[in-house]
Amino acid sequence: MFNKIYEKKEFMVFPIKKGYVIYNSKKDFSDGHTHLRNFNSAKMAIDLVVNKKIPKSTNFYYLTSLIRIAQDEDYIDKIEGLIETRKSKGKKKNYYNNNYCYR
C-alpha cells in the first residue's frame, strides 16, 4: 500500500504526492490520520503527541492534526481549549501609525 519512511511507537509516516500522511495504528485510518506537507512537521507532530506537549505558536490546521492522531482525552481537551481561546480572541488589528505622514 504505502512505503513507510518513519515510525515511532504506534505512529507511522507515509509519503504521498504533495506531502506526508501520519497514521496512528491504534485508531481507525479514517479517524487516526492527518496530512502534512513537511516531513519535519510530521516528525514534530508525532513527538508532540508522544510527549503530550502543546505547541505555542501554530495554526489551527496543525492543532487539528494533533487532535486527529492523539488518543489521550486530556491532551485532546487541552488542545481544543487552546483552539477555542484563540478563536474567541479573534484576529489582531493592523497597526496604524497616526504620526506617520502618508503621501
* Ranges of each domain in the chain: 6-89
Chain segment 33-85, per-residue pLDDT in tens: 999 999 999 999 999 999 999 998 889 999 999 999 999 999 999 999 999 98
The CA distance from 96 to 73, in Å, is 42
Please give the model's pTM, rounded to 2 decimal places.
0.81
Residues 6+ apart with CB under 8 A from 24: 10, 11, 32, 33, 69, 70, 71
| Residue among 67, 50, 98 at smallest CA distance from 58 | 67
